[in-house]
Structure 1
Amino acid sequence: MRKFIFEEIENLPPMPETAIKIKELYNKDELSFKEMIEVIEEDPLLVADILKIANSPYYGFVHEVKDIEKAVVLLGMDMVTGFALYCTLNRDFDVDFSAYAITSDDFLKKSVIQSKIAYIWTHKESVLPTAAFLSEIGKVLIAKCAKKRGKNIYEYMVEKNIECDDAEEEICSITTPEVTAAIFERWNFSSKLVKIIRYSKNPEDAPNEYQKDAASLKVIRAVVDLKGEIEPDAKEKALPILERFSLDVDSFAKALNCNICSEGSIDSL
């Protein structure tokens, strides 16, 4: 089934024009605040989608975020870039997450919560919030693969009492990080973003300069379940990885304990 997945990646449609412009800006050595705002504001639907995410209950801003400039100030360029890429690419994907027993809203909530943890943990001057937000996109193609095989990934996870990545590996011979990385590599995203996502399954295999970020992403993905809820045993799951890669346990605990699971929902984008 790996062959099926990689054929699907090769046959992906070209990126939307707005996404291409955002990617080109993101791949520069320094993101331009002014240029990014101008590109996003060219697409009114994108502006509405980003503001919807920024004003979701999961970020808990006291006042409504009414414009993109304010969103960038509050969330940082990297995170808003992640939102923008997700929203533009989401329009072109044929999305069916029934193999994971989740909805598109659940998927978006997981992405948002992961990016929020990364944002609090590492602060906004980091690629990690973007990687955490975009890292699950590979599930779109793995779900398609599982459906083709007549398999349900969630049911397999429950039956075998295994993690999602392991169920994906057994059913489709590939995992979400590998597929997501291959998609962004196909579209010529920055090598750093691609490698952090690719090695988040096995950070010990990453080049030294990406190892800690890959391990951080592994932790974040492990503690947020498919529906975007914090796992009950999140701290127990995280601690061995945090200690192995000498990551900051206290700051991670602070990020995890923040009020990021407020009641509410995000309407479908």
Structure 2
Amino acid sequence: MNEDMNELLLKSVEVLPPLPDTVMKLRKYTDEAGIEVDTKKVAQIIQADPVVTAKLLQLANSPFYGFTSEITTITQIITLLGIGNIKNIVIANSIRDNFKIDVSPYGLDTQDFLANCNEEVNFITHWLGEEDVRLSRSLVPCAMLLRLGIIVFSNFLIQEKKDKFFYALLEKNKFKNITMVENEILGVDHISFLGFLLHRWNFDESLIESICFVNTPHSADDSIKKATYALAITDRLFAPYSNNSPFRAKAAVALVKEAISVGVPFKLKTFIDKLPAKAVENLDKED
């Protein structure tokens, strides 16, 4: 059955909500301009859309970036984050705003799910903001979209009237292995599917590759290994559910240690210091 469902899933991607005109213009210009891209032209494209401008300024002044002074212009944002980052952020923000969110096929409360998604972004920026500010800022778009696959899968399962069947299998599995159930029913897991979506939307290759190796970060190329491990660690820590706990602290700590063992310069103490309170509590609990 998963082959038929996988084919239907891929077809459903063709009718996903289109990206706004501003995003299309920005992407088209940056792709065509290449290394000759002009900061002023990028600012003009963004500023022509008041909604995109307002949301970008709001995001730039959020805890995700931790700038010490208020950002008031698009030009400031471009100067601080770079054109590549801006393009990825605008696309990611637009994608999040264009999806109807109902994650009931996963047995999740939508508001709790969205809060968890925001906490993922907050954590990865809070953690890496001290260790590697540049990496922290570049990973914001990926972190924002880390659970997009679950949203797309949920909409698809509801549309195909397979949502109750999917939920029953998750329940039978005691919600312990989402990936196994996703692969059984849909032929792909939500993280791998996100890599496919990012490729379709022309995100930077380095971000796409980082997502594609989240399940096997040790196999990633050295140039993206740190980014991949950072996303993998965040994925483990903020799994949608695991034995009714929102955090999987021990698995995340083990992955940090693995990353360090293969030469990724993370600091274990910094990571543990930045953990949410619930995660710290779970470190002391018996498995």
Whether the aligned pair in 2 keeps the contact of 1:79 and 1:124 (CA below 8 Å) is no
Give the aligned partner of residue 112 of structure 1. 121
Greater percentage in helix: 2
RMSD: 3.8
Give the aligned partner of residue 150 of structure 2. 139
C-alpha separation in 1, matches of 2:276 and 2:58: 16
C-alpha separation in 1, matches of 2:272 and 2:24: 33
Unmatched tracts of structure 1, length 5 or more? 262-269
C-alpha separation in 2, matches of 1:166 and 1:139: 14
Structure 2 counterparts to residues 41-120 of structure 1, below 5 A: 41-56=47-62, 63-72=69-78, 77=83, 79-98=85-104, 99=106, 100-103=108-111, 105-106=114-115, 108-110=117-119, 112-113=121-122, 115-116=124-125, 117-120=127-130
**Amino acid paired to 2:263:** S
SS in 2 for 1:160: coil
**Amino acid paired to 2:110:** I
TM superposition score normalised by structure 2: 0.69
Identity over the aligned pairs, expressed in percent? 20
Q: Which has the larger radius of gyration?
A: 2
Aligned residues: 259
Deviations 1:74-127 (A, max 9, x none): 555555444311222234323323333333742651453255145544322674
Give the aligned partner of residue 195 of structure 2. 181
Q: Structure 1 residues 247, 20: CA separation in 2 closer, same or farther (over 3 Å shift)?
A: same
**Amino acid paired to 1:122:** D
**166-175 or 36-45, which moves further after superposition?**
166-175
Give the aligned partner of residue 284 of structure 2. none
Q: Structure 1 residues 107, 75: CA separation in 2 closer, same or farther (over 3 Å shift)?
A: farther
Structure 2 counterparts to residues 155-194 of structure 1, below 5 A: 156=170, 160=174, 162-194=176-208
C-alpha separation in 2, matches of 1:189 and 1:129: 13
Q: Structure 1 residues 200, 62: CA separation in 2 closer, same or farther (over 3 Å shift)?
A: same
Unmatched tracts of structure 2, length 5 or more? 278-287
Whether the aligned pair in 1 keeps the contact of 2:118 and 2:144 (CA below 8 Å) is no
**Amino acid paired to 2:52:** L
**34-43 or 203-212, which moves further after superposition?**
203-212
**Amino acid paired to 1:144:** N
TM superposition score normalised by structure 1: 0.73
C-alpha separation in 1, matches of 2:92 and 2:153: 17
SS in 1 for 2:110: coil
Whether the aligned pair in 2 keeps the contact of 1:37 and 1:69 (CA below 8 Å) is yes
**Amino acid paired to 1:112:** V
C-alpha separation in 2, matches of 1:254 and 1:119: 11
Instruction: Kindly indicate whether structure 1 or structure 2 has the higher relative contact order, using CA contacts under 8 Å at least 6 residues apart.
Output: 1
CA drift at 1:45: 0.8
